[in-house]
Amino acid sequence: MIRTLFLLFFLTSGLIAQAHGLKVLITEKKSGKRVVLMAQNRTADTLNVFLMVNAEGYRRSASKPVIKNIPPNSSVPMITLIELKAEPRHYTYDLIVNSLEDAKDLVFERQENDIERIVSGKLVIFTAEACEACETLIDRLTENRITHRAFDIHEEEVIYRQFLSYIERQLTEETKIRLPVIWNKDEVIFGYDNLKSIVTILSD
């Protein structure tokens, strides 16, 4: 059983650490304008760590996911952020930790699940628990009988990872990942501000 944790934090500068089941700590190592996010494995086993950062006020917004195997009782740099002048700075991140055994299963599942087949030409919504905007959109799509498929990023971790890899070329340093993540047939939309407008777009 793959154990996952989706962490969403608004972080400021300085040394900050959060635990993933007391297995992995994400800390900041700051030098001048550079902020290196470190993943510290606090266990006696090698762990597979997935980290995706969405940052504002930094030159590197880290919109592409980073996946590394972290040796036992060691700390490994994951992502480097460079502060921009005179801009407010904060970032959020998604952290998923698996054992190596689970990671092997993920590789197998990626081979079995063809993400292009799942999303090509279709309307797919990636949601998360306690995401009110996600629930509202799903309800409205259902009410309007707009064909769609929804995946919870906690419960469908493998598919979500595949999807992020699939849209990698569409991600830039300016990309701000917001939920729900919407795949509308051939393009990705991150969140929405107006429900009526997004439903109109998705109904075309």
Q: Is the pLDDT of residue 146 over 70?
A: yes
- Domain check: are 137 and 157 in the same one? yes
Count Cβ atoms below 10 Å from residue 163 Cβ, excluding itself: 21
Residue 108 lies in a domain: no
Residue 103 predicted with pLDDT over 70:
no
Residue 89 near residue 95 (C-beta atoms within 8 A): no
Domain assignment present for residue 136? The answer is yes
d(CA 61, CA 158): 23
Determine the Cα–Cα distance for residues 18 and 5; give it in Å rounded to an integer. Answer: 12
Asked whether residue 170 is domain-assigned, the answer is yes
The pLDDT of residue 56 is 80
* CATH number of the structural domain spanning residue 163: 3.40.30.10
Residue 11 placed within a domain: no
Co-location of 76 and 129 in the same domain: no
Question: Which residues lie closer than 8 Å to 189 by C-beta, 6 or more apart?
Answer: 181, 182, 183, 198, 201
pLDDT digits (tens, 9 = 90+) for 83-95: 887 778 888 888 8
Residue 12 falls inside a structural domain: no
Q: Are residues 97 and 122 in the same domain?
A: no
Q: Phi and psi at residue 69, in whole multiples of 5°?
A: -90, 125
Return the SS3 of 187.
strand
Together in a domain, 134 and 52: no
The structure tokens listed for 127 are 């949601």
Listed range (60-69, 117-126, 130-139) with the worst mean pLDDT: 60-69
Query: Buried (b) or exposed (e) across 144-153, using 16+ Cβ within 10 A?
Result: eeeebebbbb
User: Does the pLDDT value for residue 98 go beyond 70?
Assistant: yes
Same domain, 125 and 77: no
Expressed as residue numbers, the domain containing 146 is 113-203
Query: Is 126 in a helix, a strand, or coil?
Result: strand
**Which residue carries 């991150």 as its tokens?**
190
Domain assignment present for 10:
no
Distance CA(21)–CA(78), nearest Å, equals 19
The stretch 5-13 carries a mean pLDDT of 33
Residues 7/15, Cβ–Cβ less than 8 Å? no
74 and 155 co-located in one domain? no
- Confidence check: pLDDT of 142 > 70: yes
Q: Tally the domains of the chain.
A: 2
CATH of the domain at 94: 2.60.40.10
Whether the pLDDT of residue 127 is over 50: the answer is yes
- Per-residue confidence band for 176, with pLDDT thresholds at 50, 70 and 90: confident
Domain C-terminal end among 103, 127, 157: 103
Kindly state whether residue 67 falls inside one of the protein's structural domains.
yes
Q: How far apart are CA 189 and CA 199, in angstroms?
A: 12
- One domain, residues 77 and 128: no
Same domain, 130 and 191: yes
CB 49 within 8 A of CB 97: yes
- Is residue 52 domain-shared with residue 125, that is, in the same domain? no
> Is residue 13 included in any domain, yes or no?
no
How high is the pLDDT of residue 167? Answer: 84
**Residues linked to residue 152 through DSSP beta bridges, in sequence order:** 127
Does the structure show a pLDDT above 80 at 173? no
pLDDT at 195 over 90: yes
H/E element, 30? strand 24-31
| pLDDT one-digit tens code per residue, 50-79 | 888 877 888 755 556 788 889 999 999 988
Of 85, 103, 121, the last residue of a domain is 103
- Average the pLDDT over 111-118 and give the result: 68
At 156, the pLDDT band (50, 70, 90 cuts) reads: confident
